[in-house]
Structure 1
Amino acid sequence: MVLPALVAREFGGGRGAQVLTAATTALGLVVLRLFRTGDGRWWLAIGAVVGIGLEAKWLVLLMVASIGLSVLAVGPRTVFRTGWLAAGILVALALAAPGLIWQAAHDFPLLILFVPMQFLYLSPVVVPIWIAGGLRLIRCCAFFC
């Protein structure tokens, strides 16, 4: 986890970028461990990594959603059949609570700006290509289903 954080620093990333990089690397490792072993206790570690990551960047939720949808689509679905999942969610919420409380106290400015900022981050030049690719993917999926 240290090496990817150092890479983020080399590319000019500040402390937030370094923490996010380390957290997402750790998330990948603990998720793989959960999938390999099937031991639901890994949900606690996943919750800790997600909670810490949410303090730096809410895009962690996009990665978590992507992993969750992938597991629902192709498995191993058995990892969802444990009470440890709820415990992991509670850990994530507890660690992310300071940021969530601040957002709530300030009328969730991040949620209001989230979608418009993604278009800016992607660059207005790339957005049409991104939209065209998404529409093509939807059409291909509709054709094969």
Structure 2
Amino acid sequence: MSKRPNDDINEINTEAKKMAITWQLKSLTDKVKRESRKKPGAPTMCKFCHGTHEAYACNIIPQEKKLSIAFKRKIICLGQAKHHPAACYGLKRTDHLCQEETCQKDFQIHHKSICDKAPPHEEEDIGLDQLIRDNEDDNIQATQ
């Protein structure tokens, strides 16, 4: 019996290993290419004062002002009032919805930043009067 069949198996195994390494290298380089093409995500921006924090953590705008802004918009996502509440993306992203037990018992669906039952968040104050003036300027420009 000759050793030829055993050599063929070794050759096949060697080729299979080379192909597997090539395929893994290609998949890794493709993944790196996809990641490098991705645009960096925009930083979180407050829907009330346009600061770089979440809307629920905003202590700059008073609660009454937040409510008046929210009722001009959607109370679920705080977005522009151009979509039906059933189609609101805020229903899909439950991390933005109020999780207070009393609100859930009463079936009140709203953004957690406008809940009057939620505990306040600690955030640095950067000039309430200036931000209110800026927000009023934005409202004036939006109506023109």
For the criterion TM > 0.5, the same-fold answer is no
Q: TM-score, normalised by structure 1?
A: 0.26
- TM-score between the two structures when normalised by the length of structure 2: 0.26
- Structure with greater proportional helix content: 1
